[in-house]
Structure 1
Amino acid sequence: MRKPVIAIAGLACENSTFTPSRTDAAAFHPKRGKEIIEKYDFLHPGTTLSNAATWVGALIGHALPGGVVKRDSFELLAGEIVSRLEKIVEARWIDGLWFDIHGAMHVEGVEDVEAELLRRIRKVIGPHVLVSASMDLHGNVSRQLAHQTDLVTCYRTAPHIDVRETKQRACQNLVELIQQQPESLKRMRPLKAWVPLPVLLPGEQTSTRVEPASHIYAAVPGVADGNDVIDAAIWVGYAWADEWRNRAIVMVTGWEEATVVKGAEKLATIFWASHADFKFVAPTGSFKECLDAALASSKRPYFISDSGDNPTAGGSGDMTWGLHKLLARSEFKEESGPKVIYASVPGKTAVAEAVKAGVNATVTVTAGAEVDDIHAGPITLTGRVHSIKHGDVNAETEVVLQVGSVFVILTKLRKPYHKEHDFTDLDLKPRSAAIVIVKIGYLEPELYDMAADWMMALTPGGVDQDLERLGHHKIRRPMWPFDKKWEHPPDLTARLIPPSNEPLTGPDD
């Protein structure tokens, strides 16, 4: 039998429409051709998937979450994806496409952009090619996107510890589907049962570490592993974009109509039954309340999430509001005060000046709010240069400035701080600090394991956890938690999505 050929393409980013920053093409760090195969070890030569199919990379790009993607940047990358796929199709028959996306990308002037990108791709690869998409559970699955894909799956954990597993599953499902096909254009298409839910919550209220998300997602394998089912997935959606498609979605794919409908409605019912039970994954409070609690506690290190400017949820990472509040506290004015690490604030000029002065020099620099100055302006710091590091993939250059008892991390470009080595590489010892403040929402696994205790500060910013004060205008209503009273319960009936090679008709509900 002929070895099937599968192309790989996609763009992935999580974009807040409430963040003033913009994401450009370079932020996607695009990979092309063999670079894509090298990125994913489950496609390396000798692996099961490599032996089962010939994988051909077009272009993929994964950007750090942030503000809306610039239109010209999207057109540049999307145009190259189309161009590369055209050359692949000219050279060989394509059986499948792995659509490697996130699901919460937003582009200037384009809504439901993943569906738009796939529309363009479909014009090149044709309707006969089977498409399998892998997504983040914080992505959005519009009816149009569900229609154009044949298979779609997403992570089942938050924090996401099953990223590799999910992408591999998307590829394995695609290979198995292709292997079942006749050697003709008459492809067999799975049935897709899709249920939208009127719920839009931040990830910090839907972590699978805690209830109710833990039992909701625990139900997914029971449906996904059933007879005549290929996959089952639940998306909680992306809360920080004001877009009509943004809401929770359940989707089950398989071969028997009654089975996929029953499975999708079962998961949707479990989800909706708990919609009012979602709470934050940690104790919360104002920034002041979190600092007060940390100082009063004997547990060390005490972590605080400066959540409103979380760069891995779509925040600019550029805000200085939290740092202004921190340095105004009398407890941290002297070097002998409680040791605090603050991560982080970007400032190209500040970093350059600190690098020029060198370690142990005392400098006065101004950083932050170059993009996001809505809540606070740039901050001027006078302190000792504690350490300097070059070569970070995100920040490029990092500087630690000690101001009183606070060790402030300044970066040339914004960077998330998720791992212990992010700190120890800067000659910082987070385990022996009194307080560690990170621009993040729920703590990533290494930080969570390191924290003796923690709170999430409900701070302002482009990914404000208080969704109702952000000002959504385009989302569908009613929507929980924006609407607390319901005249009628939502319709949790599964909608059968037509196969990708047949027209999509009916209301876009």
Structure 2
Amino acid sequence: MRIAVGGFMHESNTFSRSAADLDRFREGSLTYGAALVPVWREAHHEVGGFLEGAETYGFDVVPLAMAWATPSGPVADALFEHVSDALVTGVRMAQPDGVLVALHGAMVTPTYPDADAEILRRLRAAVGPNVPIAASLDFHGNVSPQMAETANVLVGYQTYPHVDQRARGRLAAQLLARAVKGEVKPVVHVAKPPLILNLLGQDTAREPMALLMRMAREAERAPQVLSVSVMAGFPYADVPEMGPSVIVVADGDRAKAKAVADELAAAMWNVREQLNVPCPTPAEAVARAVASQQHPVLLVDLGDNIGGGSAGDGTVLLAELMKQRAKGFIVALYAPEAVRVAKAVGVGGVLDGPLGGTDGMHGPPVTVRGVVRSLHEGKWVETEARHGGRRQNDQGHAAVLDLGDGSLVVLTSLRTPPFSLGQLTSLGIDPRGASAIVVKAAVAYKAAYAPIAGEVIEVDTPGLTAINPARFTYTRIRRPMYPLDVS
């Protein structure tokens, strides 16, 4: 039994002007053929789960290609064609018994608003109607019925932060192997309630999302039900399929798959109001942090959530911390030009000038004066299960700037989501000693940062990933859509 394994993953924020091109994927991960195996084999990622599944379920792996990039604006059409061609050409040459492919579910290109469905369509055309295809999907995938019509198996992550990726990859591998052997005949149904879930409500440890997850696990115990995936969707994509969904894979029973999916989608609709989470303003949040005795306080910069495609150089909370004379804080900013200046002045030198705010959407540039404490290559290895599942990490050349009073600004050359404490500890920083840490995320940081947090304050900051969907102008999504259209 020969199974082709590959992937093409990107979370595309259509409100961003920063396209994901070849350079962005090279900064992330772009491997072809056998080269993908050592990169992903040990990772807490679904591709690692696919590869583990080869031993567990007895199939030979035919590696195709694997492409991943930090979320940003839409994927460039040329890059999409390049990677898609690598996958399709690979399966045509391999003529496998089945295909395992890691997709995100919220990838957009200028030509294809539902790019993941287009990849599945091309793979299906390449292998024909009888070769099973199984795809893993990110919890934030904007899943379309077209995906269900093309793939035999769709399996989504069921944790946010995403710490179950490898396990979900193993499940996809198991179901595909069983389909190839003729043990099951999987069919898929996708139900989509008409609502937008803000990212805080998507936290799978927070009610009522936790309730929906318990209902999904219970539904999987029913006869003929092979897998149930509650999907939160990605609200920063202005595309027709934007929004949450429920995916059910059943053994040959389409009516059963539809009934289970529709029941869970109705349950999600019924708790829609509780899935919205209010947040304080930046001034209110920083005042609370300064007064808090539970250190470190995590200030969650929702509007500059790098994992959702934002700039990573938002200054709103840095400016407010400085305005309120906070001490002992840590802020990381994407600032490649400032890193170059820091390297030029050297350790012990003074950096005096503006930082951040390059796109005008996440606050204006903030002028700081600090001493360059250290310079770094910016790479580290994460050994624990963390959101995103990556083992090899790279924030680019980095500099640590000391502002005095124990406050530090970390300057990076690559946009780096705060998914691992290694981003700080690899620079010689002990995050436990900070009074406050700004994390440019929504929920994904929790797997790494929650264990050390004294208090967590989620902040309603402006930007490409603002928590309130009313801040955005949607022109292509389905309407009516809660909470934008409230009767």
* TM score, norm. by length of structure 1: 0.86
What amino acid is aligned across from residue 374 of structure 2 in structure 1? S
Distance 1:68-1:87 versus aligned 2 partners, 3 A rule: same
Deviates more, 1:147-156 or 1:262-271: 262-271
Verify: 1:356 aligned to 2:344, yes or no: yes
Cα contact 1:45–1:51 (8 A) shared by 2: no
Q: CA deviation at 1:114?
A: 0.5
2:330 match = 341
Deviates more, 1:346-355 or 1:316-325: 316-325
d(CA) in 1 for partners of 2:221 and 2:269? 22
CA root-mean-square deviation = 2.1
What amino acid is aligned across from residue 131 of structure 1 in structure 2? I
Match of 1:256 among 253, 267, 277: 253
Q: CA deviation at 1:479?
A: 1.0
Verify: 1:37 aligned to 2:32, yes or no: no
1:16 match = 13
1:489 match = none
Verify: 1:66 aligned to 2:72, yes or no: yes
Consecutive unaligned residues of structure 2, counting only runs of 5 or more, are 43-47, 380-392
1:57 match = 63
Cα contact 1:37–1:43 (8 A) shared by 2: no
Q: CA deviation at 1:326?
A: 3.2
Distance 1:256-1:75 versus aligned 2 partners, 3 A rule: closer
Q: In the TM superposition, what are the counterparts of 1:317-336 in structure 2 within 5 Å?
A: 317-327=312-322, 329-332=323-326
Deviates more, 1:74-83 or 1:59-68: 74-83
Match of 2:479 among 465, 472, 477: 477
What amino acid is aligned across from residue 444 of structure 1 in structure 2? K
2:360 match = 373
Distance 1:148-1:161 versus aligned 2 partners, 3 A rule: same
What amino acid is aligned across from residue 55 of structure 1 in structure 2? V
Match of 2:203 among 207, 215, 226: 207
d(CA) in 1 for partners of 2:245 and 2:404? 48
d(CA) in 2 for partners of 1:311 and 1:213? 23
d(CA) in 1 for partners of 2:452 and 2:246? 34
1:81 match = 87
d(CA) in 2 for partners of 1:429 and 1:174? 44
Distance 1:174-1:456 versus aligned 2 partners, 3 A rule: same
2:461 match = 459
Match of 1:223 among 210, 219, 230: 219
d(CA) in 2 for partners of 1:22 and 1:323? 26
Cα contact 1:69–1:108 (8 A) shared by 2: yes
Q: In the TM superposition, what are the counterparts of 1:63-462 in structure 2 within 5 Å?
A: 63-89=69-95, 94-180=96-182, 189-254=185-250, 255-280=252-277, 284-327=279-322, 329-332=323-326, 338-343=327-332, 345-370=333-358, 372-392=359-379, 393-405=393-405, 406-442=407-443, 443-462=445-464
Distance 1:427-1:37 versus aligned 2 partners, 3 A rule: closer
What amino acid is aligned across from residue 134 of structure 1 in structure 2? S
What amino acid is aligned across from residue 305 of structure 2 in structure 1? N
Q: CA deviation at 1:163?
A: 0.9
Q: CA deviation at 1:83?
A: 2.7
3-state SS of the aligned residue for 1:16? coil
* TM score, norm. by length of structure 2: 0.89
d(CA) in 1 for partners of 2:50 and 2:414? 32
Distance 1:305-1:479 versus aligned 2 partners, 3 A rule: same
d(CA) in 2 for partners of 1:61 and 1:308? 26
d(CA) in 2 for partners of 1:484 and 1:194? 24
1:503 match = none
Aligned length, in residue pairs:
462
Please give the per-residue CA displacement for 1:149-187, whole angstroms capped at 9, x wherever unaligned.
111111111111211111111111100111116xxxxxx
d(CA) in 2 for partners of 1:131 and 1:473? 33
Q: CA deviation at 1:43?
A: 6.4
d(CA) in 1 for partners of 2:360 and 2:212? 39
3-state SS of the aligned residue for 1:69? coil
3-state SS of the aligned residue for 1:351? helix
3-state SS of the aligned residue for 2:377? strand
d(CA) in 1 for partners of 2:295 and 2:167? 34
Cα contact 1:347–1:366 (8 A) shared by 2: no
d(CA) in 1 for partners of 2:236 and 2:52? 42
Q: CA deviation at 1:444?
A: 1.9
Please give the per-residue CA displacement for 1:381-439, whole angstroms capped at 9, x wherever unaligned.
32101222114243211111122433111111211223333212222222121111111
Cα contact 1:384–1:402 (8 A) shared by 2: yes
What amino acid is aligned across from residue 346 of structure 1 in structure 2? Y
What amino acid is aligned across from residue 338 of structure 2 in structure 1? A
d(CA) in 1 for partners of 2:484 and 2:23? 36
Cα contact 1:231–1:253 (8 A) shared by 2: yes
Distance 1:45-1:139 versus aligned 2 partners, 3 A rule: closer
d(CA) in 1 for partners of 2:465 and 2:53? 40
Cα contact 1:37–1:55 (8 A) shared by 2: no
d(CA) in 1 for partners of 2:232 and 2:439? 24
3-state SS of the aligned residue for 2:203? coil
Greater Rg, structure 1 or structure 2? 1
Percent of pairs with identical residues: 28
Deviates more, 1:415-424 or 1:360-369: 360-369
